[in-house]
Amino acid sequence: MKTVRLTMAQALVRFLENQYIEVDGVQNRFVRGVFIIPGHGNVVGFGQALTQEAKHLEIWHGQNEQGMAQAAVAFAKQMKRKQICVATSSVGPGAANMVTACGTATANNIPLLVLPGDVYACRQPDPVLQQVEQTHNLSISTNDAFKAVCRYWDRVVRPEQLMSAMLSAFRVLTDPANTGAVCVAMPQDVEGEAYDYPETFFRKRVWRLERRPATEAALSEAAEAIKKAKRPMLICGGGVRYSEAHAEFRAFAEATGIPFAETQAGKSAIEWTHPLNLGGVGVTGCSAANDIAKKADLVIGVGTRYTDFTTASKWLFKDSCKFVNINVSDFQALKMEAIPVVADAKAALPCLLSKLDGYKAPYTNEVTAAREKWAKELERLDSMVFEDKKSWKPIINDANADSAKRFAKDLNAGLCQTTVLGAINAMMDDDDVAIGAAGSLPGDMQRMWRPRAQDTYNMEYGYSTMGYEIAGALGVKLAIGDKREVYAFCGDGSFNMLHGELVTAVMERKKINICLFDNASYGCINNLQVGHGNKTLCTELRQRNKDGLFGDFLNIDYAKVAEGYGCKSYSIRTMEELVAAFEDAKKVKNQPVLFDIKVLPKTMTDGYGSWWRVGDTEVSERKENIEAYKDHLAHEKDARKY
């Protein structure tokens, strides 16, 4: 057996260089590049290896470990899990920063490989800089924190262990049913230790993404259930997009006449104008999807995890409603007490359709009526004006209009959030990509966003990670290239929490467009807080006065912040300024853009007949809390139990 003597880190990079994925007979490199913040734990060993061994891998300089790993998540999501990026960090705090991104990846079933540096395997310098000492177990380091948020975890304490570790890592990264974050911790002394590796370890290795077929028994049982349905509906989940089953899903819906709703991950699989498209469903859903869902007697979920936002905490669908789930994961396929069809969506949908014997859903005009009703509401949301109470309905009650009035005075602003969102949607080109993650914007976007082309909506809502938006925009830009635009939609809360990858975008000359909706608050959490009977507490960005944090709203000039980094920026307080800025920004090349848009609090969308279960207070001095708890009990009584 021929061998080559390399350090563990050099062997790792050489291995990454030679990993390929094959989908439907087409092969591509599986690892695009590496995000790195060099530090104590990865700068000497792994850093040297990248310099020596990286031939095809691109290398990007991250600014925050969480941010660069979130960029890698968004990249893999936009690439439909068929190509990934790696993120590597130092020991200790650098590694800990990536834990959140791993949670994002695993919650959303997105492949992410993180390579954190680790403390010395030999233990001779103990305690090394940044080491957390656990007196009951000296083998524990910061990297053990990754275990809770990763699908696979390993620590390479001898250089020869790398071979089995990486094969297991890529087994998970390329498994559509069980993918997510993978952590392979690298003790810094082992990174530099050499071993005679078999040359076969570095051969071109092709990981085939096999399309799992459905069994005949599962298809027959599902078909019989569908043929009995009087009011069926489909749910288009992220699995439709990752499987590239867009055409098969469309054909199934059109052949059967079954309307479909979208999850956040499934949105943009089919254009919004399709006559069977009901839009977003659940807590952040629209009236069209939720009205049909409440009366459904059968739901066919395709590639969905049925989060509480999709099911409205299992309250949206009646107990008598049955479920058929097509999912490559047997764990997901069994949810909602469903008939499981454990299979790839692209492979299963045509087979299931062939067993329906020409079945047509017996709808008359219900779907058209639901869509028309929602279209009228969209018109209202697109044209909301603060001064016109007929068009503007505060999200909770009129009393909360006080926050909007105070904000308008303090920031000299009067734009409504839904109006701005609708305008930007209309001004974007068809193949531009929208990305978001947290706050009130995901709800507004699942309801209001109107994709005109496939896979142009990249919403991270499995983990609802504040800070994903800007880093994710960089990841999407790396995925789609410079000929298309990406627009990140984030609130001021997310921007303040994590926006360092703007600097990376400046360094890389990547144009990402940041639509910053500044309402000087954590708007959706303030709505949740006040709507369940609590007083406002630390959810608005105000100066402290004698009563607490209830003074003037902070008037932060985010445009100047971005300009200081080297971005092109615009300060926007009127619709005329928005339109002018947007048109001017289209001329910008190779430079990030930030739109600092001041939007009034409480001018987002409403709930549209949904319910979200939260931990309401059973005992309180406030009658508002008690009323909220009574409402909680009433809804809980009608919710499905499993």
- Choosing from 350, 368, 386, the residue where a domain stops is 368
- Choosing from 181, 208, 235, the residue where a domain stops is 208
- One domain for residues 306 and 184: no
Q: Domain count of the chain?
A: 4
- One domain for residues 481 and 443: yes
- One domain for residues 583 and 621: no
- The yes-or-no verdict on residue 558 having pLDDT over 50 is yes
- One domain for residues 67 and 187: yes
- One domain for residues 476 and 550: yes
- Arithmetic mean of pLDDT, 339-360: 97
Q: What is the pLDDT of residue 593?
A: 98
Q: What is the pLDDT of residue 537?
A: 86
- The CATH number that applies at residue 503 is 3.40.50.970
- Arithmetic mean of pLDDT, 340-351: 98
Do the domain assignments include residue 604?
no
**How far, in Å, CA of 56 to CA of 50, rounded?**
11
Confidence of residue 529 (pLDDT cuts 50, 70, 90): confident
**How far, in Å, CA of 93 to CA of 64, rounded?**
11
- One domain for residues 593 and 617: no
The alpha carbon of residue 391 and the mean position of all alpha carbons in its chain are separated, in whole angstroms, by 31
- The yes-or-no verdict on residue 51 having pLDDT over 60 is yes
- One domain for residues 273 and 399: no
Confidence of residue 393 (pLDDT cuts 50, 70, 90): low
Phi, psi angles (nearest 5°) of residue 507 = -60, -40
Confidence of residue 548 (pLDDT cuts 50, 70, 90): confident
pLDDT tens digit string along 19-29? 999 999 999 99
Strand 298-302, strand 232-236: pairing:
parallel
Among 125-129, 347-351, 500-504, the least confident range: 125-129
Q: What is the pLDDT of residue 526?
A: 85
* Burial 215-242, CB ≥16 within 10 A → b, else e: eeebbebbbebbeebebbbbbbbbbbbb
- The yes-or-no verdict on residue 396 having pLDDT over 50 is no
- Choosing from 179, 208, 237, the residue where a domain stops is 208
pLDDT tens digit string along 400-458? 667 777 877 888 888 999 999 999 999 999 999 999 999 999 999 999 999 999 999 99
pLDDT tens digit string along 599-628? 988 888 988 989 889 988 999 899 989 998
Tell me the residue range of the domain where 626 lies.
613-642
Token look-up 């319910």 returns: 611
Q: Burial level of 528, CB count in 10 A (0-12/13-18/19+)?
A: middle
Q: Please give the residue that has the higher pLDDT: either 6 or 125.
A: 6
Among 67-81, 103-117, 388-402, 426-440, the least confident range: 388-402
Q: Which two tokens stand for residue 482?
A: 């410079």
